[in-house]
Copies of this chain bind each other. A is one copy, B any other.
Amino acid sequence: MDDRLTHFDASGNAVMVDVSEKAVTTRIAEARGSIQVNQAVYDAISNGTAKKGDVLGVARIAGIMGAKKTSDLIPMCHSLMISKCTVDFTMHPETLSIEACCIVKVSGQTGVEMEALTGVNLALLTIYDMCKAMDKGMEITNVRLIEKQGGKSGHYKREEA
């Protein structure tokens, strides 16, 4: 862990940091997050995957396309050519929440945490958009990095209770 903000120079100016000396390695990141919905939305999404409207199918695509756009959205992010991206969902009926999981892989000089987190966020925002006529109270929550491999900082695995 660094003990300072690496995205600013000594004068406090934002910079896109120099990664040219970093090794090209395979880097993988997994992020997760959830959206809390009401019963009606939960049922519509559960039932909808087959024929009535595939909310999660649309959200998955938004997540994957969003992960590809990360460097266009996050000011100091480097452009990357990601070699793999998946977005998957787990339904949690007991808490009326849908969890999104985005895994991104790259062979490059910088990690893909931001791509995975952006993929999760955009997938969840798309669920909100497609269901907001039924429930305006939905809430996106617990968006976090689960695991990260590759690069100098090595393996990171979030400890969860």
Contacts from A to B (Cβ < 8 Å): 1-9, 12-20, 26, 33, 40, 44, 48, 50-55, 57-58, 60-62, 64-66, 68-69, 71-86, 88, 105-109, 113-114, 117-118, 121-122, 125-126, 128-145, 148, 156, 158
Given A16-B86, A69-B72, A121-B121, do A144 and B133 touch, yes or no (CB 8 Å)? no
B60 touches A14 (CB 8 A): yes
Complex A-B: 19 CB contacts under 8 Å: A5-B55, A6-B133, A7-B130, A12-B48, A12-B52, A13-B60, A13-B86, A14-B64, A66-B73, A68-B71, A68-B72, A73-B122, A74-B125, A74-B129, A79-B82, A113-B136, A136-B156, A137-B145, A141-B142
A76 touches B140 (CB 8 A): no
B129 touches A14 (CB 8 A): no
Please give the count of copies of this chain that the complex contains.
6
Looking at chain A's contact residues, is the secondary structure mostly helix, strand, loop, or mixed? mixed
